[in-house]
């Protein structure tokens, strides 16, 4: 079949599809600037298949024989169908959905694709997809007449394509950033449908699929003009919090409605430096805790200020500033600090007011024992000495309870076996035995952790007897450790109460040992639970430690 190389319309067709193919292929080199890997992968597949599709159209138009034209046309059908899948993958990833990762959807898509490709490539056998004939209008070319199988596949393809359009439209309407430019680019990808209809119903355009032209415009727009906005919109679409988009020079590019409500100064601030417009936000980005305190309606609110770069470091596109409301967390933390301060003040006051007369009483008692030899053997004197010792223990443990409950600020890597052994040496163990079953390295406050072990060991010895065996080991199924003994154990009905301050089952006990343990655990952000050991004794499990490898 002769190719019309002199017709201006023919040359225009060839030129348009050549440009479309080049635009798609060249745009591939810019996609490394897109931050999200799944979005980048989906857009890469879309441009590759669309560029190949446009190339197939060029081959179809310029090939000198009918057999070559049919081969190029069939190749274009295969790539066009693949482009629909790539479009859906891209839309799902860009809008923050997970359809493209769902194994069931992926297997179904591959199965449908294989079936439709088989129908397309076997068209010479059944002629149900398309037939061809040579025509002279609007220039000499091979005209394609589509069959029922084509319309079935075309209907499915358009339905899936519109699902992608819906996902993008929903994203663009839900976020507060300016999406008009990208919305126009997305709309252009659907514009070729008009040319498809004209080509099918009139002789003014040839009956060929024009979608690669729309994708080419979309590719150039995204890759070369709006790539920074493209990334910023995706980042903004994932969050409802105040968002400020900056360019590479830290000038404000865009903001959403939540940010404008929080900071009225952002109205008309596009193009101004962040440091000038919102100096406190800029300062937060350089601080360690990055907490911004704002006075609102006579009450302060707190925001955690974070930044997310978009593009690559080489591209230098900019950053997205996100402000997350952490008011409840900060108020709780401040209240906890105030409570701990009041508790320590109370404990210090009590210990000071009690320790002075206690020291006087203890000193007088020692003098009395030196003056009167019979005092040491007198039962009343023994009771007095025991009471003085108990009061000293109470004062010490009240102070420990107050101080060990404060949040841990200094974390160090500790070895379970080492801390357990050191703590064991600080306790009066009599004939008791310590067994460290296995080891673990984790982060903790070493001093408070040692007091935790000391109190647990004393508890085991006090209740299990002087020859009790205490075991320390690592929890097998979650990050944590345990302290267990072979004593009488703790009844299930009492396991919640044992951590209450003052709770004790022994007349000489203070009831603060396990309360200090619970406060120490809470200060580290861990959890503790009481169970029964393998030998029927008590087992304390500490959960949620941060292990170090």
Residue 316 above 60 pLDDT?
Answer: no
The DSSP letter of residue 139 is S
Please say whether the beta carbons of 522 and 509 come within 8 A: no
Helix (H) or strand (E) holding 473: strand 469-474
What share of the chain in percent tops pLDDT 90? 31
Residue 290 above 50 pLDDT?
Answer: yes
For 363-390, write each residue's pLDDT tens digit: 766 776 666 666 556 666 666 676 667 6
Q: How many contiguous H segments (helices) and E segments (strands) does the chain have?
A: 18, 14
Locate CATH 3.30.450.20 in the chain: 239-325
For 145-167, write each residue's pLDDT tens digit: 989 999 999 999 989 989 988 88
pTM: 0.51
Q: What is the arithmetic mean of pLDDT over 259-266? A: 85
Domain 239-325 annotated CATH 3.40.50.1110: no
Locate CATH 1.10.287 in the chain: 330-407
pLDDT band at 73 (very low <50, low <70, confident <90, very high): very high
Q: What is the pLDDT of residue 253?
A: 78
Higher pLDDT, 127 or 477: 127
Question: What whole-number distance in Å separates Cα of residue 455 and Cα of residue 461?
Answer: 10
The CATH number assigned to the domain with range 8-235 reads 1.20.1070.10
For 209-249, write each residue's pLDDT tens digit: 899 988 888 888 777 765 656 655 555 555 567 888 888 78
Locate CATH 3.30.565.10 in the chain: 408-549
Question: What whole-number distance in Å separates Cα of residue 340 and Cα of residue 331?
Answer: 14
- Computed over every residue of the chain, the mean pLDDT equals 82
State whether residue 196 is helix, strand or coil: helix
> Among 2.60.40, 1.10.10, 1.10.287, 1.10.3470, what is the CATH number of 330-407?
1.10.287
Query: Residue holding tokens 């690669």?
Result: 212
Q: Taking the CA of residue 267 as centre, how many other CA atoms within 13 Å lie in the half-sphere pointing to its CB?
A: 5
State whether residue 465 is helix, strand or coil: coil
Level-2 CATH architecture, domain 408-549 = 2-Layer Sandwich (3.30)
Q: What is the pLDDT of residue 4?
A: 58
- Return the minimum-mean-pLDDT range out of 281-290, 456-465, 528-537: 281-290
Q: What is the arithmetic mean of pLDDT over 177-181? A: 69
């Amino acid at each position: 079949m002769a190719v019309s190389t002199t017709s201006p319309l023919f040359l225009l067709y060839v030129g348009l599809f050549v440009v479309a193919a080049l635009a798609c292929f060249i745009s591939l080199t810019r996609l490394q600037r897109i931050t999200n890997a799944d979005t980048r992968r989906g857009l890469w597949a879309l441009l590759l298949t669309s560029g190949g599709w446009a190339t197939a159209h060029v081959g179809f138009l310029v090939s000198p024989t009918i057999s070559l034209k049919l081969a190029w046309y069939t190749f274009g059908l295969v790539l066009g169908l693949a482009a629909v899948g790539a479009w859906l993958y891209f839309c799902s990833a860009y809008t923050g959905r997970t359809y493209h990762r769902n194994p069931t959807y992926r297997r179904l898509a591959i199965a449908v694709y294989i079936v439709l490709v088989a129908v397309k490539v076997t068209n010479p056998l059944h002629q149900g997809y398309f037939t061809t004939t040579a025509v002279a209008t609007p220039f000499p070319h091979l005209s394609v007449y589509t069959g029922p199988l084509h319309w079935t596949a075309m209907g499915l393809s358009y339905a899936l394509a519109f699902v992608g359009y819906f996902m993008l439209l929903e994203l663009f309407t839900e976020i507060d950033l300016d999406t008009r430019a990208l919305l126009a680019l997305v709309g252009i990808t659907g514009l070729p449908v008009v040319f498809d209809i004209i080509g099918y119903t009139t002789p003014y355009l040839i009956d060929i699929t024009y979608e690669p032209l729309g994708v080419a415009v979309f590719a150039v727009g995204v890759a070369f003009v709006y790539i920074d906005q493209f990334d910023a919109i995706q980042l903004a679409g994932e969050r409802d919090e105040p968002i400020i988009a900056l360019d590479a020079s830290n000038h404000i590019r865009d903001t959403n409605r939540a940010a404008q409500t929080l900071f009225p100064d952002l109205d008309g601030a596009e193009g101004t430096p962040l440091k000038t417009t919102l100096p406190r936000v800029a300062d937060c980005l350089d601080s360690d805790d990055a907490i911004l305190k704002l006075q609102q309606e006579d009450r302060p609110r707190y925001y955690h200020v974070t930044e997310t770069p978009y593009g690559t470091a080489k591209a230098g596109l900019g950053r997205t500033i996100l402000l997350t409301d952490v008011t409840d967390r900060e108020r709780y933390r401040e209240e906890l600090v105030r409570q701990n301060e009041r508790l320590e003040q109370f404990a210090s006051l009590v210990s000071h007011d009690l320790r002075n007369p206690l020291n006087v009483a203890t000193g007088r008692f020692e003098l009395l024992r030196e003056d009167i030899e019979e005092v040491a053997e007198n039962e009343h004197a023994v009771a007095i000495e025991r009471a003085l010792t108990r009061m000293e223990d109470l004062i010490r443990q009240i102070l420990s309870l107050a101080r060990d409950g404060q949040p841990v600020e200094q974390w160090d890597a500790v070895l379970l076996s080492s801390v357990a052994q050191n703590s064991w040496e600080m306790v009066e163990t009599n004939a008791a035995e310590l067994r460290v079953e296995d080891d673990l390295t984790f982060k903790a406050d070493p001093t408070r952790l040692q007091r935790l072990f000391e109190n647990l060991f004393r508890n085991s010895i006090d209740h299990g007897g002087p020859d009790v065996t205490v075991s320390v080991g690592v929890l097998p199924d979650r990050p944590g450790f345990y302290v267990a003994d072979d004593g009488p154990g703790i009844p299930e009905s009492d396991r919640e109460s044992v951590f209450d301050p003052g709770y004790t089952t022994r007349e000489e006990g203070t009831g603060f040992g396990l309360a200090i343990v619970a406060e120490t655990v809470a200060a580290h952000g861990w959890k503790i639970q009481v169970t029964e050991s393998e030998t029927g004794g008590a087992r304390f499990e500490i959960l949620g430690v941060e292990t170090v490898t």
